[in-house]
Chain A
Amino acid sequence: MMDGGDYCKYVSKTAPRTSELKTLLAAFCVGGVICMIGQGFTDLYTYLLPDAEESMLGALTSMTMIFIGALLTGFGIYDKIGSIAGAGSIVPITGFANSIASPAMEFRKEGIIFGLMAKMFVIAGPVIVTGVVSSVIVGIIYRIIAIV
């Protein structure tokens, strides 16, 4: 019989592959459209709140997109989009909302505290940890530069 190494080579050569063109195109289009929707909300908030700071407009847009992502997750639509779009719906902030809302929904059955709340961050947790740690590193480096 073949040994493990030969077999792994055989499998990696013959295993069914993702159709590259189709997935790339889907990711590009869906990702682009989600960003255009985001731009639409930014422009809307700029029009409604002409005096607001830019950072507040950005935060409002993020919050709106997160709301939409969470709601579509609730209705069971986001995972259908995701199965076609792949990274096109993972990378936008709506995908971040999906990664928080979906485990929360899934583990709701184990109770609100030990299920919903405890498992909410099983996927998004690493994102928040990375974000906070890296921002602290950036902050410290910039502070050192500022002092020197």
Chain B
Amino acid sequence: MRKGKHTYAPEEGIYIINTSSIAGPNEGRGRFSSYYDMVLEDYDWNCKTHEKTEIKMHKFAIEQVIEKSALGRSDVDCIVGGDLLNQLVASTFAAREFEIPCLGVYSACASFGEALAISSFLIGRGNMNNVVCCTGSHFGAVERQFRYPLELGTQPAPSSQYTVTAAGSALLSAKRKENVPIISACTVGKIVDYHICDANNMGAAMAPAAADTIITHLQDIGRGEDYYDYIFTGDLGKYGRETLYYLCKKQGYDLAGCLNDCGALIYNDEQKDMQGGSGAGCLAVVFASYIYKEMCAGNMKKVLLVPTGALLSKGSSLQGESIPGIAHAVALEMRE
């Protein structure tokens, strides 16, 4: 059901019945190390290229979430997947072995939010029963596509972020299950461009989009900022989180009590990650591990996921284009 401008609240319950998470070595040493289903010991995972590793990670996440839910592959109606590589080669190639219909989504690092929103639309009105959402990213594969060769001796900018090597998946179902979160509303974000051109400061490029989506969501649904226990943005990083707080405060929303950022949290304080993690796998893996498990355990009741994405390609920034941002909001709630 449509609410306000851009928010849709599903009439039937859409249950996130299971998640699966896989993290790379650096993330495995990070803050949520004990929450991941699997941590890779090295970046190759016996694959010849980083792209192949990423495909294998997506495959693992999809396979495991279906297995965990005690479903057969034929019970899954659709895989909605996304990643950062050109032509979505990681998520679609991973899906080729499953013989499950597949949709590819791209909102840069906000892809997981887009996948959740689209899946909830697919399940709504009884169209589909079970949908798997899966997004991920791999540092080595992303770096060579968007930045420099790994061995080039450059200095990381202090405002930059480190692309996470991780994948997270969630299985959404129309079938009722106790003690799991349901999707209560989705706000599809619009592209917001405040003309930030510095590709090393993605947090600043994405923060206006996140602010826009969060405020639109709260207005659409008629809730105050204290309704949610936690608002998790995707990968704004430490600086981006501060900027988002500032932007919302200017609009009269004080998010001090609930605003958290997965990118700023994913590594621990000793790791030299500059502003934190980023990438399509960042929110996906934190949600699939930490947030989902804490929600199921009853430690978090109402959570707003706001994955954020910076839209750029190597060519677009060389052609002098600015970096627009996008953010989608997905509200998760534990029903009594």
Contact = CB atoms under 8 A, between A and B. Distances in A.
B299 interface: no
Contacts, number: 102
Contacts of A106: 144, 149-151
A7 interface: yes
Contacts of A3: 194
B157 interface: yes
Contacts of A109: 48-49
A142 B151 CA distance: 40
Interface in A81-98: 81-86, 89-90, 95, 98
Interface residues of B, number: 34
A3 B144 CA distance: 34
B201 A2 contact: no
A79 B274 CA distance: 17
Interface string A7-21: 110110011111100
B318 interface: no
B242 to A, nearest CB: 8
Contact of A73 (B144, B151, B198, B275): B151
Interface centre among B148, B194, B196, by most chain A C-beta atoms within 10 angstroms, is B194
Interface residues of A, number: 41
A16 B275 contact: yes
The main secondary structure of chain B at its interface with chain A is loop
Contact of A4 (B159, B194, B198, B239): B194
Interface of B: 48-49, 144, 148-159, 193-196, 198, 201, 204, 208, 211-212, 239, 242-243, 246-247, 250-251, 274-275
Interface of A: 1-5, 7-8, 10-11, 14-19, 23, 73-74, 76, 78-86, 89-90, 95, 98-99, 101-103, 105-107, 109, 123
21 contacts: A1-B211, A1-B250, A2-B194, A2-B250, A5-B195, A7-B196, A10-B246, A11-B201, A18-B158, A23-B155, A78-B151, A82-B153, A83-B155, A83-B156, A89-B153, A98-B153, A102-B151, A102-B152, A105-B151, A106-B150, A107-B149
